[in-house]
Chains A and B, each alone.
Chain A
Amino acid sequence: MMRILFYFGKRLIFVIPQLLGIVLVSFLLVKSIPGDPAVLMLGPTATPSAIASLREQLGLDQPLYMQFLIYVKDLLHGDLGTSWQTTRPVLEDLIQRFPATLELVTFSLLLAIIIGVSLGVHAARKPNGWIARLADIYGLSAGALPDFWFALVLIFIFYTVLGWAPAPLGRIDMIVLPPMPITGALTIDALLAGDFEAFKSASAHLVLPVLTLGLLNAGPILKMTQATMEKMLESDFSRYEILCGIPQNLVVRHALRNALPSIVTIISVLYGFLIGGAVLVEIVFSWGGAGQYAVQGVLNSDIYPVLGFVLFSAVFSLIVYIAVDLLYFLLDPRISN
């Protein structure tokens, strides 16, 4: 237990300067995007004096380093600034949109894990079999498809031609009542509320975007599973088990357990990546997620949403990594001893 605490202490020492670094770099980057927030907030008919007073109020008349310090100070008070497009505090917007992204990404990741791990394990069992070949080709071609284009193809086939999928427009049908938000994930909230219709609609809207992201991002998991499993099955340990006459399924299961840390690592990296990497799919499906919010921010010189999103996703990645480290402690008794 002490070791875990010690570990987290050490980890935090590194995390804080790293987060500061992320905020600094992104601040400098978005600050150099042309466009005066005061002008944009007040609209095209604003008077110069109104603009000047808003600039003062926002601290835009101060030197850059002061603006940064103001931002960090506000940040520590939980104030992430205001979006001129939604005219709402960025924190509120993100609290509303981040769960949408998270729901999409989590389901996609689950699909990717199912495909990646099962295909990887089977491929590793027979390295020259047809599944291995299929896995090879699949791994390579999945990574080659642009996700936004693949999403369009799916929409064309399943919505335009066949009419099986709902309109690629957000997370739930317009006529269906969304459930009361508890977790922010519509499917889970609908189940918690016992609202079957909302659940059906939300699930139907998830199918195409989850297929897009899940199918295209299973590659790294597949590759890692296949490689580590091959190594594990060739290890002395597995060979010994086989010699002892232990059933093959059990041997594979033991090998998988040993391969798990590497697989979990790649999954955690992918999780962090997908938060930002789902942006284009969010746009194609008008998902209303956090990534879409950030991209609109960049394109329209609305800087605080961008900063907020970068910060949110960095913190999220961090939480995932820490959770994974915790998982290692559980998976591998050697570390915790």
Chain B
Amino acid sequence: MVSSMGRMGEALAQDASNTLVIAAPATPQGLDIEFDVSLGSIDSLGALYEYMLGYEKIDDPKAKGVMREDTSVHTDKPNNLALRGRLAEQWEVSPDGRKATFKLREGVVSNWGNPFTAKDVKWTWDRKFNLKGQGLFQTAVLGLKSPDQIKIEGDHAISFNLDQPNPLLLKQQCNLANPIYDATKCAEVGGKDDPWAVNFLKNDSAGFGPYRLKQLVRGQQAVFEARDDYWDEKPFMKRVIMREVPQSSSRFSLLQGGAVDIAQFLQPRELEALKNQPNVAVDAVDSSYMIWLELNSKIAPFDNVDVRRAVNLAIPREEIIRTIYYGYADEQKAPMPYIYPMADQSFFNYSYDVAKAKALLEKAGVGTNLSTTLSYNAGDPTQEPIALLIQTSLKQIGIELTLEKLPAGVFYENVTKRAKPMIFYLDSPWTPDPGYSTYLYFNSKSYVNYSNYDNPDVDRMITEGLATLDDKVRQEKYSSVQKTLMDEAPWGFIAYPQYTLARKAALKGYTYYSSNNLRFQDFSRG
């Protein structure tokens, strides 16, 4: 305890202009993406780890001074994608789309000083096959069946060998969930008992990113320190302090008082109040976030498709966006992020209509007095008011909702158990692709299919779309998938919230990523 407090002081004493102080809702629970996807964890990943590839950056068309990834389809570029090399210097996909070869960058060292080689990439993917956490999804979505499909082709060359062509082969190399580990360090600390270094990577990092973890006191703060031996441009911010401040009103106060550089995840009402402040700026960009209700298809009354449709007709989206989001959101009209390629909002047929909803319930023959429970996350201050608006609205079509507030710590456990009839979910698929998005949430075998949706036709079409590189064919398949999903309404579609960042006006460089995380190396002062 003595030493940790001493370090905290040391971190704070650094030159203030090169120190980035972030008021975050939570410190990372764990740093291993295999098991932990909490907010604090995903913000740490991009700093601690390096990836094989990245997207090119472009100016955000709406928000001035904000950059974002260029994730759209570029027919003029190789593989139709705008990519830039990171740990992979060059890459090539075979004409049949079944093999990708990567030439790896030389002279890169990890935060433990170990040089980067093809063995590290191989170990990273072997780990996914062995641990069977969320990495299982990452391998499955690529169609990888065995670790042998990833072959070392030399000290600095590696290849991915697939049975079928897969359009995600390169996109997945940019996904935040696929950081490359320092295999040498991991083997060293894990030993025989823990060959995949699960205990180590939960509390520390072994990667090739621009920062190293200096300190992690869960519930209080995490401190990151820029690496002098990082291979690419050295970050402006030498130190990053992520302080846990659970209440958004407190984060608001801290930014207002100038005590922090960034206040994350403020409530829209607070963002409005900050708009008039001279030293504070608010960036708001269209994001891959979606907030929806999981309507559990295996639990009455949502096992009835007409009840699900009726609920969708009675969700007051416009009111929610005006009252709760103060306009920092758009109506959700597709089962995937609207900013992703091939998203199609034309199948949305659920404009607020009480009469139509009532008629559907009558048709469903479920009686006039339905009652069920809506569970929401106490840690997300927008969910309770949205729940209240939905409760009032559903009352009008004869559905009586009981609201159940779940503490933040057990909320996700409840989502994953899939035992609640109706539960909020706020999430985003990290790879900007319709196949990835729909496979994640609607494939009957996906671990994130929390609404228990099961339609063999949809399963088949999603998988087919993941086995062709022809963007025209894919467009057709995924249009039809989206049409079915919108019609069968496994979700109560609510909104696409914007990603908002409240920061000091002098802080520059914010870049939006489709995994909705910060990368500390983007920031500077000017």
Contacts and interface: CB of A to CB of B under 8 A. Distances in A.
B134 A180 contact: no
Nearest to B203: A87
A286 B447 CA distance: 36
Given A40-B409, A301-B409, A88 B218 contact: yes
Interface stretch (A70-78, A168-176, A262-270): A168-176
Given A43-B35, A45-B34, A85-B218, A178 B259 contact: no
Interface stretch (B8-16, B54-62, B112-120, B395-403): B8-16
B421 to A, nearest CB: 17
B254 A169 contact: yes
Interface string A300-322: 11100000000000000000000
A92 interface: yes
Contacts of A300: 407-410
A84 to B, nearest CB: 8
A18 interface: no
A46 B218 contact: no
Contacts of B202: 87
Contacts of B203: 87
B6 A180 contact: yes
Contacts of B260: 174
Interface stretch (B144-152, B239-247, B360-368): B239-247
A301 B132 contact: no
A169 B133 CA distance: 37
A246 interface: no
A299 B407 CA distance: 6
A288 B243 CA distance: 13
Interface in B215-245: 218-220, 243, 245
Contacts of A39: 413
Nearest to B16: A175
User: How many of chain A's residues touch chain B, expressed as a range?
Assistant: 35 or more
Given A175-B259, A286-B250, A181 B2 contact: yes
Contacts of A46: 35, 133
Contacts of A44: 37, 412-413, 415-416
B219 A85 contact: yes
Contact of A286 (B16, B35, B247, B415): B247
A181 B5 CA distance: 8
B526 interface: no
B385 to A, nearest CB: 19
A26 to B, nearest CB: 19
Interface in B435-477: 447
Contacts of B79: none
A35 B410 contact: yes
Nearest to A92: B1
Given A45-B134, A96-B1, A180-B2, A174 B254 contact: yes
B267 interface: no
B139 interface: no
Nearest to A297: B409
A182 to B, nearest CB: 9
A86 interface: yes
B410 A178 contact: no
A36 B410 CA distance: 10
Contacts of B30: 43, 87
Interface in A198-224: none
A77 B267 CA distance: 46
Nearest to A46: B35
A305 B341 CA distance: 47
A286 to B, nearest CB: 6
Given A181-B5, A286-B247, A301 B218 contact: no
Residue among A85, A175, A286, A288 having the largest count of chain B Cβ atoms under 10 Å: A175
Given A167-B259, A299-B409, A174 B21 contact: yes
Nearest to B12: A177
A45 B220 contact: no
Which of A45, A47, A92, A96 neighbours the largest number of chain B CB atoms within 10 Å of its CB? A45
Given A42-B35, A85-B219, A174-B21, A167 B243 contact: no
A268 B34 CA distance: 51
A308 to B, nearest CB: 15
Interface of A: 35-36, 39-40, 42-47, 85-88, 92, 95-96, 159, 167-169, 173-178, 180-181, 286, 288, 296, 299-302
17 contacts: A42-B35, A43-B36, A45-B133, A46-B35, A85-B409, A86-B219, A88-B218, A167-B254, A168-B253, A174-B259, A174-B260, A176-B12, A178-B5, A180-B6, A286-B245, A286-B246, A300-B408
Interface of B: 1-2, 5-6, 8-9, 12-13, 16, 21, 29-30, 34-37, 132-134, 202-203, 218-220, 243, 245-247, 250, 253-254, 257, 259-260, 378, 407-410, 412-413, 415-416, 447
Given A88-B218, A169-B245, A169-B253, 6 more contacts: A36-B413, A95-B1, A175-B12, A178-B9, A299-B407, A300-B408
Give the 6 A-B CB pairs with smallest separation, nearest first.
Answer: A300-B409, A299-B407, A177-B9, A45-B133, A44-B416, A86-B218
